[in-house]
Every structure is written in C-alpha cells, then in structure tokens.
Amino acid sequence: MTQVRLDGRVALVTGAGNGLGRSYAKAFAARGAKVLVNDLGGLAQGGGRDPSVAQAVVDEIVSAGGQAAANGDSVEDGGKIVQSALDHFGRIDILINNAGVLRDAAFHKMTEDDWNVIHRVHLNGAFQVTRAAWPHMRAQGYGRIVMTASGAGVYGNFGQANYSAAKLGLFGLAQALAIEGRSKNVLVNTIAPVAASRLTQTVLPKEVLAVLKPELVTPLVLLLASETCQDTGQLFEVGGGCVARLRWERSAAVAFDPTTEFTPEQLLEDWSTLQSFEGSDHPATVADSFALIGRHAGVKLQLAPQ
C-alpha cells in the first residue's frame, strides 16, 4: 500500500486552533510536514483575539516530535500569514483554507453586518491567503490547495443565506484556480465536511456530533494535500467516515428553433421533460455548457483562447 507522506513540505492551515484545523495540522506534522498553525483565537461568531490558541496546537505538535510555528493573524490579512510561513520555513507547498465563523439568522432578520462578516472571513479571507501563496506555488511548480465549502453551500440551509453564499463562492473560486493552476502543478480541490466543531455544535444534536470526529475528515485532506494526489477541481462530501465525490448533473435539454422566439406556454408543455433527469449528462467545464447550446443552435460556441 502506498504511504502518503509529506516530508519536506510546508503546510499552512488557517483556523487550526480547534476542530478540523487542529486535526489537520497535527496529522500533517505527523507525516513529515512543517506546519504553520494559523488561528486568530477569536469567537465562533467573529471578534476577539487570543494568540495562545494557535500556540497550544504548536506545543502539541512539537511535543510529539514535529515541526510547527504559530501565527495569530486574521485571514483578512492573508499576506501576513503567508509571509510568516516563508519566514519560518522558507516556502509554502500546502494551503488549507479552513478558517470560518458563523452568523446564523433567518434571511428576514439577517443584518448587513451578518452578511459581510461571513464573506470577509470565509470568501475574502480564503482569497487573501490564496492570492499571497499563489505566486510562490507557481514559481516552484508545486502546490496543493484545499478550500472548505459546506453542504449548506451546495444545497442551501435555513438561516444560513450568508454562509451558504460564501461557501458556494469558495467552490467557484476553487474551480477557476484549478484550471489556472494545473499547468504549474498547483492543484485545487474542495471539501464539504461535516464534523463536530464550534460551528456545528449549535446546529447538530449531541448524539450526531459524537460520531462526527474531525479525525474522520482528515484522511481526505491529507491525500488531497499530497503529491500522491493528481486530481484537481473536484468536490467531496466527507464526514463520519464517509467520503463521496459530487458532480453536476444536467437534464436532457428541451430545445426550440433558435431562429424564432418560443413562448412560456411552449416551455410549459415540455416542463416535465425538463424536470426529468432521464438521459442526463454530467458537464464538467464551461466548454461542455457551450457545447450543449451550440449543438441545438447549430453553431459552434467556444471561449476565446487563454
């Protein structure tokens, strides 16, 4: 059996002071990586700062014989975090965008601050850290990035319009970066984990949390962060010992003559066909989307050369 090792690699894990991030950081170090443990040490709802949170994880890693350093910057200051990794270890090979906060509220009660805080931390925070790491990974011809989405982003969830939008945004960011990074061996994948943490303890019952150990998500992250993995642009659900890959599914198209206008009444007549997934396919690129339209319109649609 091939052993997944990370010897000589430098891993940066954001939000690594608790839960999933802590589990990732300790596992990376145990498999040979040098780890920058980033955590602001704030509250689950945002706000506050405690540098001892990241340092405590570093102390655990070092006491077990690993190499790690602590960083207490906010992901909104992503450049500082990446520079800290470079200052301590001289490079950055792995980035796990894991930091997050929650501001749950029904949409009619959601404030603009509730919306903005979630996007600043989850989406803009991941952008800031990734943008700072990106040129270093491209220059060295190696990088592994994991974005943390959520089932709430994939499917939606009551009271989490802000969180759902940001999490699906992270998947979109990952998909674009997967395309741009492949030629430089910078691979980008996304996970939608379910695990016991400060963010889930308020929305999941205790008996469910008991079987959702963060350590049951970590093996997938280890694999995606390793040289062994050569896949990019993929999305995985993971939790409770279960791992599954998700993909888009498209129903068979209802097509009309593109040289004349069609009516909503005509579309209504074929609505049941549109709603059925019999004869579906699984588009994976923008080109696949264009191809469907072009095929029915009798023209060739393609993106401009990059």
**If you average pLDDT over residues 114-122, what whole number do you get?**
98
* Per-domain boundaries in the chain: 10-246, 247-306
Q: pLDDT tens across 88-99, in order?
A: 999 999 999 999
Q: CATH for 247-306?
A: 1.10.287.4290
Q: pLDDT tens across 175-223, in order?
A: 999 999 999 999 999 999 998 755 565 556 676 677 789 999 999 999 9
Q: pLDDT tens across 133-185, in order?
A: 999 999 999 999 999 999 999 999 999 999 999 999 999 999 999 999 999 99
254-to-35, 248, 269 alpha-carbon distances in Å: 52, 18, 10
From the candidates 24, 142, 155, 163, which is the catalytic residue?
Answer: 163
Q: Can you give the pLDDT at residue 210?
A: 75
Q: pLDDT tens across 59-88, in order?
A: 999 999 999 999 999 999 999 999 999 999
- Can 24 be counted among the known catalytic residues? no
Higher confidence at residue 267 or residue 299? 267
Higher confidence at residue 109 or residue 305? 109
Q: Can you give the pLDDT at residue 48?
A: 59
**What's this model's pTM, rounded to 2 decimal places?**
0.92
Output the furthest CA–CA distance in the chain (Å, rounded): 72
**If you average pLDDT over residues 44-63, what whole number do you get?**
85
Q: Can you give the pLDDT at residue 306?
A: 52
Q: pLDDT tens across 225-250, in order?
A: 999 999 999 999 999 999 999 999 99
Over its C-alpha atoms, the chain yields an Rg (Å, rounded) of: 21
Check whether 273 has a pLDDT greater than 90. yes
Q: Can you give the pLDDT at residue 292?
A: 79
String of DSSP letters for 221-283: HHHHTSTT----S-EEEEETTEEEEE---BPPPP---TTS---HHHHHHTHHHHH--TT-B--
Other C-beta atoms closer than 10 Å to the C-beta of 221 total 29
Q: Which of 152, 87, 96, 163 is nearest to 126 (CA)?
A: 96
User: What CATH number matches the domain at 10-246, 3.40.50.720, 3.30.420.40, 3.40.50.40, 2.40.50.220?
Assistant: 3.40.50.720
- Return phi, psi of residue 272, to 5°: -65, -35
10 within 8 A of 189, measured Cβ to Cβ = no
Residue 296: pLDDT band with limits 50, 70, 90: low
